[in-house]
Amino acid sequence: MRRPRVSPLLVLLLFLGATRSAEPPAPMHNEDVVRMLVSGKPASAIVEAIHKAPAVDFDVSPEMLTELRSVSLPEQVIDAMKARMLELERVKATEERVQDITSGPKLRVHFSGTTTLHFPDWGTAAVGEKMKLDLRNEKDREIRDVAFFLACTSELDVPDQWRSKSPLGRDFTVPKHQMLFFQPGAAHLSASDVATGLPDAFRRTRDDGTAAGWYEVTLPAEIAVEVNTNEAHDLLLGIALDVQGNWHPLVTAKRKGVEVGTAGTELYATVTGKPESFDLTLTLSDKAGP
């Protein structure tokens, strides 16, 4: 019995189809979201599509969000886009901060004092003055995330085009630096999630009377980074807020001339104050606190 003849063209098409199926799916972009809006899809369906998309690459810069709002894209869709991009940023940050802390010379920073911090998800004019930002307008006060960081400001360690290589590069109050460790991704809590044992300040309202949400940051027992052992390092440790889409330091501590020998070096950071009112003190020393 003769076997049916298979067309070479069919074989080629099957091969190309298999190749395409192995390729990663194209990410969803802003244009895809706008097309769904123009086609008449309801906001709920667009949000669901954003959540289910295998990959996304949205531009959620302040300028682009203004453009999206100008075409009447619903806020719930914009929130879904921002949430997916924040998720990607957190995954990327997790991958970048994974470090081997068991071998080799390390600079280690141990945390003590208030290591679980709660911050409001909106700023005040007073904290704006402290951070040298204009937060007089209600719409400019949104805080999108909280991070803690460790940077080196030694001239020899600062890379070329350092601003593009650091999350704090767009804050012109921060000295030139090399970012050694940057941990974003604070847990966001609604007003109803706040424990009853927390101070009354955690139940404040925004200017429009709605309840404020909160971020919870848990500092680790220690962080460890690899640095050059041939020179001293001027270190900048801090906690930063993502305000208006850019990172800005809320509180910092400096330590100059830190040397890391072949056995590594231990430093000790202590956090005190009231994060619920953005009032914090951070110290960094070579000895553990009391």
168 and 270 within one domain: yes
Last residue of a domain, one of 96, 126, 148: 96
Residue 100: what pLDDT?
41
Last residue of a domain, one of 96, 127, 144: 96
User: From CA 84, how far away is CA 12, in angstroms rounded?
Assistant: 37
112 and 88 within one domain: no
- Percent of the chain at pLDDT exceeding 90: 51
Residue 264: what pLDDT?
83
Cα angle 126, 129, 132; round to 5: 150
| pLDDT digit string, tens, across residues 111-150 | 999 899 988 888 877 788 888 888 777 667 888 999 999 9
245 and 152 within one domain: yes
Amino acid at 206: R
Burial class (CB in 10 A: 0-12, 13-18, 19+), 10: exposed
Residues in the chain: 290
43 and 115 within one domain: no
| pLDDT digit string, tens, across residues 24-39 | 778 999 999 999 999 9
| pLDDT digit string, tens, across residues 4-15 | 454 554 444 555
Mean pLDDT of the chain: 83
pTM greater than 0.85 (yes/no): no
195 pLDDT band, cuts 50/70/90, is: low
Evaluate whether residue 107 is within a structural domain. Answer: yes
Residue 6: count of CB within 10 angstroms of its CB: 9
Task: Check residues 22 and 66 and name the one with the higher pLDDT.
Answer: 66
Q: What is the mean pLDDT of residues 246-264?
A: 90
Domains in the chain, number: 2
User: From CA 37, how far away is CA 77, in angstroms rounded?
Assistant: 10
76: containing domain: 12-96
251 and 147 within one domain: yes
> DSSP label at 225?
E
Residue 213: what pLDDT?
81
140 and 42 within one domain: no
Q: What is the mean pLDDT of residues 153-164?
A: 92
Last residue of a domain, one of 51, 72, 96: 96
- Residues paired with 188 in a beta bridge: 215
178 and 43 within one domain: no
161 and 238 within one domain: yes
Residue 184: what pLDDT?
94
- Determine which of 123-137, 154-168, 270-284 has the lowest per-residue pLDDT on average: 123-137
110 and 92 within one domain: no
Q: What is the mean pLDDT of residues 212-232?
A: 87
